[in-house]
Structures are given as C-alpha cells and as structure tokens.
Amino acid sequence: MKTVELGRTGEQVSQLALGAMIMGTSTDEPTSVEMLDRYLDAGGNFVDTANCYCWWSREGSLGGESEELLGRWLAGRRDRVFLATKGSAMVWDQQGLWRDGQPDWPLARTRFEGAGAATLTKAIDDSLRRLRTDHVDLYYVHVDDRGTPLEETLEALAGIVAAGKARHIGWSNVRTWRLERIRQLCAANGWPAPVALQQQHTYLRPKAGLDSASIVDGEQLDYLRAHDDLSLVAYSPILKGVYDSAAKRAGHWAMDNYEGPDAQARLAAVAQVAAEIGVTANQVVLAWLLRQSPTMIPLVGPRTLEQYETAYAALDVVLSDEQVARLDAAGA
C-alpha cells in the first residue's frame, strides 16, 4: 500500500484509511482483529475511530466499544499505527432517545456533548484510557460545535497537543466558512491548525439545493485545492456499497442526498468503466477517489472480511486517463 503525506506535516499515512466505527459491535472482535491484522500486514497504518462509536448499535450503550477493542489490539503494535480518534459527538443523555428499537437521530444531534474546553479535556483522557495509549496521532472535533466559542475549543486543543496527548488536530462535519475562521484564529494565536478535514465525499455529487455541513460541495473542493496543507479524509466513499447494486440503491437512505438526473448519469458512467476493466463499481469509485487532487484519503469501514478484501483490491485497479476524464465529465 502506498503512503501519502498528511497535509504538510511530513507524516506518511496509508492512501486508504481503515475505519473502526463498527468494530466491537456490528463486527465482532475476532473478525475485527483479523481485518486490522491484514490491513497492517499490507502496509496500512491509518486507523480511525471516535469516542462515541458506536452507541447506536444497541440501546443502553454509551459508545466506546471501538476504542476499547483497538486498545486491546494495539498492544505491541502502537508504533506501527497512525491512530485517529474524535470527541464532541458523545450522547450522554439518552432519555427518550430510542423508539421502537431505533435511535432518534434528530434528537440525538441536539444532545452531542460539544467541544467545550472541559468536555474535550475529559474526552481525550477517556479515549486514551480506552485505547491504552498515552497519545493519539490525530484528534478531531467530530461535529462542529457552533454553541461554543471557537477560541475556547482551539485553546483547549492546543493544550491537548502541548501536553503530548495528540500530535495533530483535525475537524469534521464543518462548513467551509467555519474552517477558514478556525484557520485564521490558529494563525493569529499560534495554535496548532487542523491538518485533516474528515467529510463525507464520494463520486456522486450532492443534489441541487442540499444543505449539509457534512458533505463536500464544490466550494469546499475549491478551498481544499487552494490549501494543500489540509488533507481530505473522505468517509462513506462508496455510500454503503450502493454503487454495485441498483436494487440496493432503490430507496436506500444513503442515496437521499444524491438522487437525481446527475446521479443517474454518473452511476451509468461508473458501471460502464467497471464493465470495461472487469471490476466492481465500488472499486471504480475508490480507484477514482485515489486519483484525485488535492490529496484525498478514502476512509473505508468494512463490516466483513469480504468487504475489506474487496475495498483493498481497489488499490490495484488501474484507470486510464481517458476513463478518469470520462468519469470526471459525466453528469446531467
């Protein structure tokens, strides 16, 4: 597996990041460990988790299962892993949060713990305890908290870095104008600036009129092209695997932000290229993302070993310049 530089940090991370969100819950521990071992043995090093993963897997959970599993697995391997975790999206108050066995996400979003100084200071310590390490390599604000002054959040993060508990910081689920304000404050105050932006990004483009702080739009891509000190870590790059199956796409919530004529045209282009080179549409999308500039790191979160191997195989998919141009140009 090739590596890429994270921002301008000098840190070399694997070109395909491995998400551990459902490890220890939907994916059992033996399968998770096998997946992690295969990834590490293949030259992968960029492992991503969060303190809240994954409370929504079952009623009564407060999260932490993923970090705890990684903490057990990391023993003897810590120096081979570029470890990322996140704070600010833990949901402590779960009163009335579950209905008919499912979490109420709109309600949950109103109860995120936020990015206040005391919250982040406690959250990083709790994460380090679960991960059984004295530091993480990258610490994200998981969900941008507009109820807390940015100065408070950034000063707290600077203290976390100064204490050696995190080596770099990142931000996730954030609008471009906020990201620019964050960078300006860091420059003015000498605080460590984000080196990674984790957002949802895929081959399909968000539908017209979509209002989302989490999905990369044209403006954000333009911003990233102009600021190569900030790497995009693209989560949900294959949208739960819907590229491979029209039946799976039909009515799937992952398509809600994309469905329309533009999406249909781009899905057709992916299917055509996949047929030409004899691979899956999901693999074409991952290969296309790996070809993008500025530096973009797809983050995959497979549930099974088969899904992991399919995603890993995308590293060997070779798209011709003509095919890339065709994929780029496709759309309504």
What confidence score (pLDDT) does residue 294 get? 66
- Would you place residue 107 in the very low, low, confident or very high pLDDT band (cuts 50, 70, 90)? very high
Mean per-residue pLDDT for 90-118?
A: 95
- Would you place residue 293 in the very low, low, confident or very high pLDDT band (cuts 50, 70, 90)? low
- Would you place residue 289 in the very low, low, confident or very high pLDDT band (cuts 50, 70, 90)? very high
What percent of the chain has a predicted confidence (pLDDT) above 70?
A: 99
What confidence score (pLDDT) does residue 137 get? 98
What confidence score (pLDDT) does residue 292 get? 86
pLDDT one-digit tens code per residue, 130-170: 999 999 999 999 999 999 999 999 999 999 999 999 999 99
What confidence score (pLDDT) does residue 214 get? 97
Residue 259 included in any domain: no
**pLDDT exceeds cutoff 80 at 216:** yes
Residue 330 included in any domain: no
Instruction: Provide DSSP, 206-272.
Output: PPTT---SSB--HHHHHHHHH-TTSEEEEESTTGGGGGG-HHHHTT-GGGTTT-SHHHHHHHHHHHH
pLDDT one-digit tens code per residue, 304-325: 999 999 999 999 999 999 999 9
| CB of 135 closer than 8 Å to CB of 160 | no
Tally of domains in the chain: 1
What confidence score (pLDDT) does residue 229 get? 95
What confidence score (pLDDT) does residue 319 get? 97
Round to whole Å and give the CA distance between 235 and 299.
5
pLDDT one-digit tens code per residue, 59-76: 999 999 999 999 999 999
**pLDDT exceeds cutoff 70 at 48:** yes
Residue 161 included in any domain: yes
Residue 141 included in any domain: yes
Round to whole Å and give the CA distance between 178 and 267.
32
Mean per-residue pLDDT for 233-245?
A: 96
**pLDDT exceeds cutoff 80 at 252:** yes
Mean per-residue pLDDT for 280-299?
A: 92
Residue 93 included in any domain: yes
| CB of 225 closer than 8 Å to CB of 40 | no
**pLDDT exceeds cutoff 90 at 81:** yes
CATH number at residue 56: 3.20.20.100
Residue 311 included in any domain: yes
Round to whole Å and give the CA distance between 86 and 196.
12
Round to whole Å and give the CA distance between 141 and 126.
15
Question: Which range marks the domain in which residue 114 is found?
Answer: 3-240+289-317
Residue 323 included in any domain: no
Round to whole Å and give the CA distance between 34 and 170.
28
Residue 245 included in any domain: no
Q: Is 30 exposed, middle or buried (0-12, 13-18, 19+ CB in 10 A)?
A: exposed
